[in-house]
Amino acid sequence: MHSAMKNPKKTYSLRHFDDVGAVPIYDRANAFMAIFEDLIKKGLTIKRVVHSPAGSHVTIADNITGERKPMLMFGSNNYLGLANHPEIQERMKKYIRQYGVGLGGPPLLNGTTALHKALESRISALKKMEETMLFTSGFGANMGMIPALAGRQDTLIADKFCHASIITAIQQTKSRSYRFKHNDMADLERALAQAGEAGSVNTFVVVEGVYSMDGDMAPLDRICALTRRYGAFLIVDDAHGTGVIGKNGRGTAEHFGVEGEIDLLMGTFSKTLASSGGFVCGRRPLIELLRFYAKTYFFSASAPPVLVAQILAGLDIMETYPELRSALMNNVAYVVNSLNDAGFNVTTDSAIIPVYVPEKADIRAISRRLEDAGIFINHIEYPAVPANRQRFRVSVMSTHTRTDMDRLINAFIEVYNSLGLMKDRPA
């Protein structure tokens, strides 16, 4: 019997259905559905439907009543506010007229237009890399790249905090794998030494530029030096770094002065560039090899040209208006300082600010209270993070005003005070 159905009196949650278990699939699905419906009734699910452009102010259908209501968005990766930018929309209209909407084929068959080639060159220039290939999602980029690179004779070493797309990709390989303690250079070095002793032919180190749940950066200067010393190969997922980190927004490698020193750099268009799709860039022979062996590239249709046009327009805006990035950074500093003044103890290196929740507190109940205060914010609960590290993940945008940010901060103070949580906050 599935673990989720053994004890009818126990309070179960979605995490109990993670394990496939030796049960017929519909038994598992029906048990899951019962719990899911209960969560919907209580308004505790995270399925929120948006009825407006994805800006700093959005219109959301209430989970319980279905009624539409205005909310302040602090849960979006649309860091520079490009999701609803008029210049980008105009450009998209032009390219819809020129190219229509979809391509109906993968890149190596009928899925490459001049726009796709232009975007590849543009990313190569931005990232100071030789060649770039495009994927239809960042998740797909990691899922295509990693299994195409690493075989039985190789070792994959990844930071413990790496994103699900990296971890799932590693699980698809037959390589030895090791997860080193988050940003712990001594543990990384131990893993590199062990891989050498085990006779690993290729050792790949995988890290993120900015960690998506914590907002901190990987020390890429030290990681580059370490991987080079051990003859290993470095892969960096800079999904949250592009457009945010570095003097010119070129990403975490720019910040650490290691541009061009990373073997494979992956990124996504779904964050700052407010579109969808991903990319991998590196030396030309490697990228050409990946075009044929990354299955999510070879066997999957290309992004519609209009999305590519959106991304190119977004890059133009990002480069023409550096003040958007400065506004973002000023906003992040304001939110961090104000939350700290209120006693919350937060830090970040990026536009993601984790606000931790005391272990005994019910994060979904706090989330509901914040929602009632009109704040759209994502809560990250166990098992996505350890039980004592549950958190709200505040994402700041350049388009938030002082009034918006003050509303967020006051809502946190009011909800934490009313639930008596201020004294229990984890440091």
Q: Which residues are catalytic?
A: 212, 240, 271
- 216 is an interface residue for ligand PMP by CB under 6 A: no
Q: Closer CB to ligand PMP, residue 116 or residue 163?
A: 163
Question: What is the Cα–Cα distance from 196 to 93, expressed in whole angstroms?
Answer: 54
User: Is-contact 60 48, C-beta < 8 A?
Assistant: yes
Q: Closer CB to ligand PMP, residue 167 or residue 421?
A: 167
CB of 208 to ligand PMP, least distance (A): 5
How many residues make contact with ligand PMP (CB under 6 A)?
13
State the binding string over 110-139 for ligand PMP (x if CB under 6 A, else -).
Answer: ---------------------------xxx
**Selected binder of ligand PMP within 183, 268, 300, 331 (CB under 6 A):** 268
Q: Choose the binding region for ligand PMP from 23-31, 100-108, 234-242, 313-321 (rule: CB under 6 A).
A: 234-242
- 208 is an interface residue for ligand PMP by CB under 6 A: yes
Q: Closer CB to ligand PMP, residue 137 or residue 398?
A: 137
Could you tell me the sign of the dihedral formed by the alpha carbons of 42, 45, 51, 52, in that order? positive
CA dihedral 124, 125, 130, 131 (to 10 degrees): 20
Cα angle: 212, vertex 215, 218; to 5 degrees: 90
At position 301, the amino acid (one-letter code) is A
The size of the chain, in residues, is 427
**Selected binder of ligand PMP within 270, 342, 359, 419 (CB under 6 A):** 270
Neighbours of 358 (CB within 10 A): 18
CB of 166 to ligand PMP, least distance (A): 7
Find the binding residues for ligand PMP in span 276-295 (CB under 6 A). 278
CB of 169 to ligand PMP, least distance (A): 10
At position 77, the amino acid (one-letter code) is N
Of the candidates 145, 110, 124, 146, which has an alpha carbon nearest to the alpha carbon of residue 302? 110
- 177 is an interface residue for ligand PMP by CB under 6 A: no
Q: Is 38 helix (H, G, I), strand (E, B) or coil?
A: helix
- 214 is an interface residue for ligand PMP by CB under 6 A: no
Neighbours of 354 (CB within 10 A): 21
End-to-end CA distance of the chain: 41
- 391 is an interface residue for ligand PMP by CB under 6 A: no
CB of 161 to ligand PMP, least distance (A): 9
Q: Choose the binding region for ligand PMP from 78-86, 110-118, 235-243, 349-357 (rule: CB under 6 A).
A: 235-243
Residue 329 gets the label, from left (phi > 0), alpha (psi -120 to 50) or beta, of: alpha
DSSP per-residue letters across 200-231: -SSEEEEEESB-TTT-PBP-HHHHHHHHHHTT
Q: Choose the binding region for ligand PMP from 90-98, 196-204, 233-241, 350-358 (rule: CB under 6 A).
A: 233-241
- 168 is an interface residue for ligand PMP by CB under 6 A: no
**Selected binder of ligand PMP within 237, 254, 371, 381 (CB under 6 A):** 237
**Selected binder of ligand PMP within 113, 124, 175, 212 (CB under 6 A):** 212
- 239 is an interface residue for ligand PMP by CB under 6 A: yes
Question: What is the Cα–Cα distance from 419 to 366, expressed in whole angstroms?
Answer: 8
- 349 is an interface residue for ligand PMP by CB under 6 A: no
> How many CA atoms lie within 13 Å of 13's alpha carbon, on the beta-carbon side?
8
Q: Closer CB to ligand PMP, residue 234 or residue 415?
A: 234
> How many CA atoms lie within 13 Å of 217's alpha carbon, on the beta-carbon side?
21
Cα angle: 296, vertex 224, 176; to 5 degrees: 55
Site residues (vs ligand PMP, CB under 6 A): 137-139, 163, 165, 208, 212, 237, 239-240, 268, 270, 278
